[in-house]
Structure 1
Amino acid sequence: MTLTIDEALAEARLAQQNGQLQEAERLFSQVLKVHPDHPEANHCMGALAIAVAKPAEALPFFGAALKADPQNASHWLSYVDILLQLDMIDEARRVMDTAARFGIDAKQFAPFETRLPSSTKMTAEGRGAFQGEGLSKKPTEGRALNNAQLNRQLRQASKKAKSGAHQEAISIYSGILAIYPKNKRALDGLAELGVTVNANAVGKVDPPAESLTALTALIENGQFNEAQQAAATLRQSFPKSIILINIEGTAFARLNRHDEAIECFRAALAINPESARVHYYLGAALEDAGDLAAACNSFTEALRLDPGDVGTHCQLAAIKRFREGDPQIVAMETLLADKALPDKLRSRLSFALAKAYEDVGALDKSFRHLKQANAVRSRLLGYDAAQDRELFANIYKYHELLEATPAEVPASDRSPAGEPVPIFIVGMPRSGTTLVEQILSAHSGVGAGGEVELMSQLGTAIVREQSHLSSQTIRDFRAMYKSTLLDRAGGGAFITDKLPQNFRYINLIARIFPEARIIHVERDPFATCWSNYKQNFVTNDLGYCYDLADTVAYYTLYRELMDFWFGQYPDRIYRLDYERLVSDQETETRKLAAHVELDWQDAMLAPQDNRRIARTASQQQIRQGVYKGSSAQWRKFESFLAGAFEPLGQYSSGNCDSEHS
């Protein structure tokens, strides 16, 4: 079936959002063959080049997008960012100066300030580092709007239309209609610009491109409820639109409404059973729902239809147990031998092969692929351990400044009725934070927020700038943070945030959220560091873990900082020993519940039955429940490590009994 330009763009955006980079590149390339100057396709191709660590290839794509649509601020930002990555400082400065003539606010370039030589840095007026009104917020696009926000956006769209910025006006109107499909002012505004909505439904399979763009923006912004509801409304007019069904299914999946996600993807396959992409989406939804056998079947069918898709190979490899002679191993080795394979995909494939060879007991091949995977990933990220050493030094320095800051949360604001109390679960990645969240969120009074980046973003920004923490910043951040938690997890007396790296900012957590619970999960250092090294994390923020020496060095920084926090906040941090949890589950879980002030519920002893899915590296292990695994599995590879873990001996209690993270 031949796709229109709009259909190809929508399919490509969704593939990109779901990590199918090869498919996204193929679809965007199809668009550019027909329309070489298409701004969105060029911009997305640039983003894909960045994703596979090819900044020089991204530059012409971002340049073409900017030339085609100079009214779009994101095109300027991407172009400047890539210029700075390529050390083209003077050109970046010139482009930022030129942007002002197109109405681009100079403050949008503030994040680039620290990357410019001191002589070219922006003035203080251009900064915005979590200070008072400068507190970063997500754009209102895609969110449910109050009347004032709605009217503001409608006025903005009208001004854009009158000034000739038609594409921006269309984007704003479409964003409104994605949330409020019957808003008359938005419909009339689009009609004046020559864009009709309802009329397009007649004889069309898919909705207008503007609607699809707005829906994918909702997904990207994390507004999954709004995306699902808007997609459901549009499906009434476009019941055969596979793109629309996939978007709704993706929204359901992000909302942990697994049965409905599966139903959507099966409906899409009923329309086109030969879509490898939809088989992949169905497999991911089945995996989330815990039906691993069916998920394997779906991924296998996706590979039958598209045997060269690296993402599908990696997803299948993560959930299956390989046996000697498995043809998928040969298939992955063949793909890896292709010299044209981008390094990012090469790294992912090597991680998958390392897991496959470990399954079949070929430890030498497993470690060889693991070493190669980590080396490529480390090179792509360009990790420098000095940056982490500097960050940790600044954390200690900032603590002195914070202690001299009087700003705090008034007692009357600490636990307003109807607002959840945050539970911060911190520690090293792969230390057990995911399992602890699953245990707690199995309780009916606890919602699972997952890994929320906001506290880490705030901490990194103000520690870097050594900024004073004002009362206004505290109020703004509390409001934004709790709103985000509610968006993610709904109601509940408590909501968890299990971003492990929040251990770096326990002083800020204690100051901004005096009512919060802070749980530190401690796991055997050998097991923790090995689990970090063998994991290909989705995030780019854990660059240390792709080198054994860097992993050990980072672990040392972590332990020293936690010892400092224990001294500063002895009554605020609950220390949960992971090995004790897996060896005496009920005793340790009851102690944890008592600390949080939860009444006892037996469901907390069966985290594997928790319908809330952990979308982290630990997802499949959590499915197996709390068990005495063998963190000593790292010893199988000890002969390959050349003594790299010897410095960890000073932190080890000698008890290696866990496998979960």
Structure 2
Amino acid sequence: MQVTNVVFNSTASPDDKTIIDPPAEERKIIVDLLKEEKVAEATRYSEGLITAYPRSFMLFYSLGMSCLLLDEAEKARVYLKRATKLNPGVADPWRCLGEAYLKLELNADARRCFDQALQLNPDDPASRRGMTQSIIDPADFDVSVETLEKMVTEDPDHPHLLMALGQCFVEQEKYIRSIDALEKAAGLMPEDTSIMAAVGQAYAEFNQPDEALQWFNRVLDHKPPRPQLLSMMANAARTKGEFELALDYANQAIALNPDGAGPKNTLASIHATLGDKKKAIEVIEDVLTQHPDNIEAMIELVITTTVKKDDPAYKALEDAYKIKPENHFAEKQKTRVGFALGKAYGDTNQYAKSIRVLKEVNAKRREFLGFDLENEVRSFELVKHVFDPITPDDCVEANPNDRQMIFILGMPRSGTTLTEQIIASHSQVYGGGELNFMNEETAELMYMFGLQPDVQLKKVAFEHIRRNYLGHIDSLKVGERFITDKMPHNFLRLGYILAAFPEAKVIHLNRDPVAVCLSCFQKLFPARGMGFTFDLRDLGLYYGMYLDLMQFWRDKFPGRILDLDYQTLTEDQEGQTRMLLDYCGLPWEDQCLEFYNTRRGVLTASQIQVRDKMYQGSSDVWKKYRRHLGELLDALDEAGVKYG
């Protein structure tokens, strides 16, 4: 890190002696630590001097700047606010204070700080960028987008406006538009690392980890690593399935900020993904020892363990949920708190409270995304309309030399993760997890059919899908011939799969409908396209549509789908496992019965459950909630769905 002249100029030089600053030798230690990129050490050392030198501008400014680099925005705000009071005539602290306010989503305060910085230094590009970003209203991204789009129309090549617009689109979960705006901004300012990081984060949110890591690495080509960037890289590597790399990035972030909570929370989530529950809990407890009020660590602890009423996290989450959010950042955190609290209430047999909280947070999420079930109805009908005229002559011929794909699908929370874990425990199988490849290859087609529903699919389209999909599979660079693709929502794209891969094995999971729907309602799904899970009535009606579509596929492609009953799998583990392996063309291996010992990353909401032995009775848990599920049960009845 380049130490700014402000630190030196507060006392003219590190060798000057003044009354209000630490002695020259103390200041030199701080400056040397910052020059050596030892930001956390410089912070700790400086904090030890505050009591003795409470009027030292150098101390408070350097502390604020260091805390920003460590992604500790609230501490940075406190220190920088003090620095601006001690020396209000210097621009840099005002700019840094504005950046701290932006991180805290207090954009009106940020705007005042950037305005002050620009009055003192009108040519500072970082302050101009910050002023543009402060236009965003975290409480209303729709209004912010409208304002910024007007400004971009008037000035289409303004990189900071494009960056702010792109970041708004990320918050709206409009990732393609976000990436378009941010990549244009990056083209206009190719050396700006803030824009590079923003593009990377947009790709990460869009579940495109390869592209995210490419942009994050561009940042590292221009500046030293920072804990926040390394944590983002760890999460991207985790999503990509490169777990050793993810652990390495997380540990690098911790090395740069050993006392910070964020990098350790990232490390805990990676351990949980890898099924190392013990290590995950150890890391979380370490965070809570140092930061007993850290909400993210409490959420991870509640998700990972069974909660008791006397657990400190239980009371802390209750208190946190009562706080009225002041901005979008706080609203998002309250949503996460609400889902964790809903689980905590369920763990402690308070089922009415659990459903009440879950209804509140799901309703907020549904409102934010603007979900409308009628759009799903039209999508399902369109799929059936497109595939209704398809005949066997339209399908691709089998090619036994290609990879042997095993598609595992069904409703989310129906047992797809468990089934994949069993099959992927076989030595000849690579567990691909939730691959988005089929969606990538068919999304544009479905969009086109929405505009021109009478266009007919031809064999050439299925050949194209097959070729491109297998190209994606080859990019995984794995040696196993058998590969699983466990994307539950592939039931919507099953026609493409069956027509393009006549040799593929398709395993469809059946589970008690109420158990599936309640489990969906209890989980915060990060992926877009899960809006039907935010309302109990929507869930019931959607489930009926899903069953209808699955029957359509059975009728259209008879004998091509293996229906696996989750309850039977849990009651007859060995018999059903033998049947599964035989269906897939795999010889028996004992380790498939000990799937919970298989070391592979699981990124889904079931990552904790598949690390335990087979559990019977999970499909009956919903009966404890029955009194509070009237809307769901009525919707299932209306859709003609039978349940236990």
Contact 1:265 1:282 in 2 (8 A): yes
Q: Evaluate the alpha carbon distance shift between residue 358 and residue 79 of structure 1 in structure 2; reply closer, same or farther with a 3 A threshold.
A: closer
Q: Mapping of 1:49-68 within 5 angstroms?
A: 49=138, 54-60=141-147
The 1-side partners of 2:552 and 2:459 are apart by 25
- CA shift, 1:478, in A, is 2.6
3-state DSSP class of the match of 2:621?
A: helix
1:586 — aligned with what?
574
Q: Deviations over 1:449-475 (max 9, x none)?
A: 222334345254254232433455434
3-state DSSP class of the match of 1:574?
A: strand
- CA shift, 1:378, in A, is 2.1
- CA shift, 1:244, in A, is 6.1
Contact 2:193 2:219 in 1 (8 A): no
The 1-side partners of 2:150 and 2:287 are apart by 35
- CA shift, 1:383, in A, is 2.0
Q: Deviations over 1:53-95 (max 9, x none)?
A: 742244445666777762779949968997xx9xxxxxxxxxx
Q: Does 1:474 align with 2:462?
A: yes
Q: Mapping of 1:360-371 within 5 angstroms?
A: 360-371=348-359
Q: Evaluate the alpha carbon distance shift between residue 24 and residue 613 of structure 1 in structure 2; reply closer, same or farther with a 3 A threshold.
A: farther
Q: Does 1:437 align with 2:420?
A: yes
Contact 1:517 1:573 in 2 (8 A): yes
Q: Deviations over 1:96-136 (max 9, x none)?
A: xxxxxxxxxxxx99x99xxxxxxxxxxxxxxxxxxxxxxxx
Q: Does 1:287 align with 2:272?
A: yes
Q: Does 1:528 align with 2:516?
A: yes
The 2-side partners of 1:73 and 1:587 are apart by 61
3-state DSSP class of the match of 2:342?
A: helix
Q: Does 1:409 align with 2:396?
A: yes
2:27 — aligned with what?
none
- Which letter maps to 2:405? P
The 2-side partners of 1:398 and 1:267 are apart by 50
Contact 1:420 1:491 in 2 (8 A): no
- CA shift, 1:356, in A, is 0.8
Q: Deviations over 1:383-427 (max 9, x none)?
A: 222112222222222123444x9654355xx34x4x423222111
3-state DSSP class of the match of 2:323?
A: coil
- Which letter maps to 1:615? L
Contact 2:308 2:314 in 1 (8 A): no
* Structure possessing the higher radius of gyration over alpha carbons: 2
- Which letter maps to 2:275? G
1:659 — aligned with what?
none
The 1-side partners of 2:503 and 2:165 are apart by 40
Contact 2:409 2:486 in 1 (8 A): yes
- Which letter maps to 2:422? I
- CA shift, 1:522, in A, is 0.6
- Which letter maps to 2:311? D
Q: Does 1:272 align with 2:239?
A: no
The 2-side partners of 1:556 and 1:521 are apart by 15
The 2-side partners of 1:62 and 1:623 are apart by 48
Q: Mapping of 1:344-363 within 5 angstroms?
A: 344-363=332-351
Q: Does 1:42 align with 2:133?
A: yes
3-state DSSP class of the match of 1:645?
A: helix
3-state DSSP class of the match of 1:619?
A: coil
Q: Does 1:560 align with 2:548?
A: yes
Q: Does 1:298 align with 2:283?
A: yes
Contact 1:66 1:79 in 2 (8 A): no
- CA shift, 1:521, in A, is 0.7
2:532 — aligned with what?
544
2:26 — aligned with what?
none
Q: Evaluate the alpha carbon distance shift between residue 10 and residue 644 of structure 1 in structure 2; reply closer, same or farther with a 3 A threshold.
A: same
1:26 — aligned with what?
104
- Which letter maps to 2:386? Y
Contact 1:249 1:261 in 2 (8 A): yes
Overall identity of the aligned pairs, in %: 28
3-state DSSP class of the match of 2:427?
A: coil
The 2-side partners of 1:556 and 1:253 are apart by 34
3-state DSSP class of the match of 2:564?
A: strand
Q: Deviations over 1:538-561 (max 9, x none)?
A: 123122222222111111111122
3-state DSSP class of the match of 1:636?
A: helix
Of residues 431, 436, 449 in structure 2, which corresponds to 1:453? 436
The 2-side partners of 1:3 and 1:484 are apart by 47
- CA shift, 1:377, in A, is 2.0
Q: Does 1:375 align with 2:337?
A: no
3-state DSSP class of the match of 1:625?
A: coil
Q: Mapping of 1:607-626 within 5 angstroms?
A: 607-626=595-614
3-state DSSP class of the match of 1:520?
A: strand
The 2-side partners of 1:469 and 1:235 are apart by 46
2:471 — aligned with what?
483
The 1-side partners of 2:222 and 2:320 are apart by 42
2:157 — aligned with what?
70
3-state DSSP class of the match of 1:424?
A: strand
- Which letter maps to 1:601? E
**Which piece of structure 1 moves more, 366-375 or 210-219?**
210-219
- CA shift, 1:229, in A, is 9.7
How many equivalent pairs are there?
A: 530
- CA shift, 1:297, in A, is 3.8
1:600 — aligned with what?
588
- CA shift, 1:618, in A, is 1.0
The 2-side partners of 1:39 and 1:514 are apart by 55
Q: Evaluate the alpha carbon distance shift between residue 602 and residue 531 of structure 1 in structure 2; reply closer, same or farther with a 3 A threshold.
A: same
Q: Deviations over 1:210-262 (max 9, x none)?
A: 88678768866867679879989998998875456545544543454545543
3-state DSSP class of the match of 1:514?
A: coil
- Which letter maps to 1:598? L
Q: Evaluate the alpha carbon distance shift between residue 166 and residue 501 of structure 1 in structure 2; reply closer, same or farther with a 3 A threshold.
A: closer
1:128 — aligned with what?
none
2:507 — aligned with what?
519
Contact 2:102 2:110 in 1 (8 A): no
Of residues 384, 388, 406 in structure 2, which corresponds to 1:423? 406
3-state DSSP class of the match of 2:381?
A: helix
The 2-side partners of 1:617 and 1:41 are apart by 38
**Which piece of structure 1 moves more, 615-624 or 470-479?**
470-479
The 1-side partners of 2:396 and 2:619 are apart by 42
The 2-side partners of 1:562 and 1:305 are apart by 51
The 1-side partners of 2:631 and 2:194 are apart by 57
Contact 1:66 1:76 in 2 (8 A): no
3-state DSSP class of the match of 1:495?
A: strand
TM-score between both structures, scaled by the size of structure 2: 0.70
Q: Evaluate the alpha carbon distance shift between residue 446 and residue 462 of structure 1 in structure 2; reply closer, same or farther with a 3 A threshold.
A: farther
Q: Does 1:496 align with 2:515?
A: no
- CA shift, 1:583, in A, is 0.6
Q: Evaluate the alpha carbon distance shift between residue 294 and residue 9 of structure 1 in structure 2; reply closer, same or farther with a 3 A threshold.
A: same
**Which piece of structure 1 moves more, 635-644 or 303-312?**
303-312
Of residues 247, 250, 254 in structure 2, which corresponds to 1:262? 247
Gaps of 5+ in 2: 1-42, 44-61, 73-99, 115-125
The 2-side partners of 1:338 and 1:211 are apart by 35
Q: Deviations over 1:504-535 (max 9, x none)?
A: 23222211222222111111122112212222
Contact 1:62 1:79 in 2 (8 A): no
